[in-house]
Structure 1
Amino acid sequence: MQLNTMIARQIVERTMKIIGHSVNVMDEQGLIIGSGDPSRLHQKHEGALLTLAENRIVEIDEATSNSLKGVKPGINLPVMFNNKAIGVVGISGLPSHVRRYGELVKMTAELIVEQAALISQLQWDKRHREELVLQLIAESELNEQQLMSIAQRLDLDLEQPRVAAVIKLMPLKADALSLEHLQSMVHLLEYPERDNLVGITSVSRHEIVVLKPITIEHGEWSRQLEQKKLRSLLKRVSEQKAFTIKIAYGGYFPSLHGLANSYQTASATLAAGQHQKDVMFFEDHTLPVLLSAMPEDDWRTKQLQEPMRILAREDRRGTLRKTLIAFFDQNCDLVQTCESLHIHRNTLRYRLQRISDITSLNINKLEDKTQLYLSFLKWQQET
């Protein structure tokens, strides 16, 4: 830790408010880097050099000050950090008048230095934590041992099973989102959830990735605890009154390098479900996510979309499409579909037959039903 002009200025401003005497701060070279008297800045202070050389309090009276360069009467005390003198704090005035303030000013200076060192360490940790997150989701060339070594230095547990979640911020007003909004969201994710590993993936897209610790039960991760935390997070986000979020959870893939796969599935889930729910899980949207990877201009995509395009042209009122949505939402169960639409079974049978006639796909045949379902999923992504 070294004294710099910013820390020196804090020391001068804070201590002078307390004691009412001019205060100087000198670095380890004896150079004045902070002073209540701006004309003394950047001068060599021989009294500070003596204080540093002998690591003791040095009092300077009128006579002594005349024999030393850059010195006025006062008292000089070493500023200690980790049992090492890193600079000097001096109080201008007759030693008999300012001596009583010496230990107070020294203690204040050292507290400010310790606070600055702590903030610097936290910022260093935060920056390197984020770099580690980005390494983990980008299929880093670093091997598992190297990644674990970095995590150990940051006091992070990478043996804890995790899934990736991608969060997209959307402003409530027309104003563009700022970096402060992203940082606010990062804070919500990190506190009180201290085990979350968070990184900003792309400022321009307003996306944040978080590697969330999970509980594995019978080979699968349990959503129940995560959904409880999620409700709390969404409530805290709503209290911000600045933005809303969409969040997509990726799949769970064992091993450290599986986090990259988890991130890819989370990102694809978010992209595939932009017009759907605010919270999505890859496991609930596997087929739409996989289909979303198909290029829109590919002939296979166009062929897959064709049945629903034909149905949309013929179904001007949307009744058949509404029926089909309910049918697939109820896992093709006729009874539950009738209940959800409040229609008679015969009405449902008639509508399903109309859909079959229009699309030329027999809804009672597994292969045709599957093709119609895939066409329906692609149509949903478009609309």
Structure 2
Amino acid sequence: MQLNEMIARQIVERTMKIIPYSINVMDDKGRIIGSGDQDRLHQKHEGAVLAITEARVVEIDDATAAHLKGVKPGINLPIFYQEQIIGVIGISGTPEDVHHFGELVKMTAELIVEQAALMSQVQWNKRHREELVLQLIKGTTLNEMQLNAIADRLDLDLNQPRIAAVVKVLPKKDKPLSLEHLQQLVHLLEYPERDNLVGILSVSLNEVVVLKPITLTTNGWSQEAETKRINQLLRRVKKEANFQIKIALGDYFPGLSGLARSYDTAQLTLNSVANRLGEVFFYQDYRLPVMMSSLLNEPWRREQLELPYKQLQSGDSKGLLIKTLKTYFAQNCDSALTCEKLHIHRNTLRYRMDKIEQVTSLNINNIDNLMQLYIAINLFHWAK
């Protein structure tokens, strides 16, 4: 720990509120880096050099001050941090008048130094935690042993199974967003402590990534349990924050390398639901559009995939055919359940299915044709 001008300035300001004398703070070389007398800044203080060299309190009267450079009458006390002298605090005045203030200002200075060191360590940990998170989700040249060594220094457990979640911050009532909003979200995700690993993904896109711990069972991990935790977060956001969020959770993949894959599924899910209403989205519920999202980036493939949907749109202005087909697929192609769900007669369903085949030129009894219809309905109607 080293004294700098910012810490020295804090020491001067706080101690001069306590006592009616000018305060000087010198670094470990005896240079004045903080003072109640601005004209003395950056001067060498030979009394401080003596206090550092001999590790003792140095009192300076008028006669002594006359023989030392950059010195006025007063008292100079070494500042210790972890049993090492890192600087000196001086009180200007007649030694007899200021002597009894010495231990008070020394204790105040050392408390400020300890607080600054603690804050510096917290910021260091926070920055390196975030860097580790970004390394884990974006891929890294570090091997597993190196990653675990970094995690150990940060007191993190990378053996804990985790899934990635991407949280997008959205404005409330058209109020502009800022970095402070992202930082507030990070705080909400980190406290109370749930062993979440959090990092700001993009300030411009207002996105934060969370590596959430999960409990694995023979049946995998519980989407229901994560939903409960997410709902707690949503309640806190609504109560404490001036923004809204949309969150997408990826799937679990084993090993440290699996975190990058989990992140990919979460990010692609969030991209897929960009125009969809709602707050919480699980990759498992949108697996098809997520896995096929890359195909939609190629215009000719997108055109081919969405052709049946567009044909149904143009051939059915009321949307009955799309609604029927969507329900049919939701009921696992069970005609009886589809009729029950839509409250229609079997003959009505048969008529609508014939109409679908006529409009799209696709045979529902042909597995290849049925798959084309399934993709068109679930990929394009779902995205609307």
* Normalised TM-score (structure 2): 0.94
Looking at structure 1, the residues matched to 169 and 341 of structure 2 have their Cα atoms a distance apart, in angstroms, of 34
Q: How does 1:189-228 map to 2 (within 5 A)?
A: 189-218=189-218, 220-228=220-228
Partner of 2:234: 234
SS in structure 1 of the partner of residue 166 of structure 2: strand
Partner of 1:286: 287
One-letter identity of the residue aligned with 1:130: E
State the shift of 1:335 in Å.
Answer: 4.6
Partner of 2:65: 65
State the shift of 1:368 in Å.
Answer: 2.8
SS in structure 1 of the partner of residue 208 of structure 2: strand
Question: Do 2:148 and 2:158's aligned partners in 1 also have CA atoms closer than 8 Å?
Answer: yes
1:281-337 deviations in whole A, cap 9, x for unaligned?
111211111111103444333222111110000111122222333333343344544
Question: Do 2:272 and 2:383's aligned partners in 1 also have CA atoms closer than 8 Å?
Answer: no
Partner of 2:85: 85
State the shift of 1:356 in Å.
Answer: 2.7
The two structures, once aligned, show a CA RMSD in angstroms of: 1.8
SS in structure 2 of the partner of residue 303 of structure 1: helix
Looking at structure 1, the residues matched to 205 and 62 of structure 2 have their Cα atoms a distance apart, in angstroms, of 65
Structure 2 residue 353 is the aligned partner of structure 1 residue 352: yes
State the shift of 1:382 in Å.
Answer: 5.3
- How many residue pairs are counted as aligned between the two chains? 383
Partner of 1:268: 268
Looking at structure 1, the residues matched to 127 and 188 of structure 2 have their Cα atoms a distance apart, in angstroms, of 17
Question: Do 1:164 and 1:262's aligned partners in 2 also have CA atoms closer than 8 Å?
Answer: yes
Looking at structure 1, the residues matched to 108 and 139 of structure 2 have their Cα atoms a distance apart, in angstroms, of 47
SS in structure 1 of the partner of residue 333 of structure 2: coil
SS in structure 2 of the partner of residue 155 of structure 1: coil
Q: How does 1:293-304 map to 2 (within 5 A)?
A: 293-304=294-305
Question: Do 1:172 and 1:241's aligned partners in 2 also have CA atoms closer than 8 Å?
Answer: no
Q: How does 1:37-76 map to 2 (within 5 A)?
A: 37-76=37-76
Looking at structure 2, the residues matched to 285 and 38 of structure 1 have their Cα atoms a distance apart, in angstroms, of 65
One-letter identity of the residue aligned with 2:45: H
Partner of 1:313: 314
- Percent identity over the alignment? 60
One-letter identity of the residue aligned with 1:375: A
Looking at structure 1, the residues matched to 69 and 13 of structure 2 have their Cα atoms a distance apart, in angstroms, of 25
> Mean alpha-carbon deviation: is it higher for 39-48 or for 170-179?
170-179
Partner of 1:255: 255
Q: How does 1:313-332 map to 2 (within 5 A)?
A: 313-332=314-333
One-letter identity of the residue aligned with 1:269: T
Looking at structure 2, the residues matched to 362 and 304 of structure 1 have their Cα atoms a distance apart, in angstroms, of 16
Q: How does 1:77-116 map to 2 (within 5 A)?
A: 77-116=77-116
One-letter identity of the residue aligned with 1:155: D
SS in structure 2 of the partner of residue 208 of structure 1: strand
Question: Do 2:322 and 2:377's aligned partners in 1 also have CA atoms closer than 8 Å?
Answer: no
Change (3 A) 1:242 1:334: farther
One-letter identity of the residue aligned with 1:352: M
Stretches of structure 1 lacking an aligned partner (at least 5 in a row): none
Looking at structure 1, the residues matched to 273 and 58 of structure 2 have their Cα atoms a distance apart, in angstroms, of 70
Change (3 A) 1:122 1:142: same
One-letter identity of the residue aligned with 1:290: M
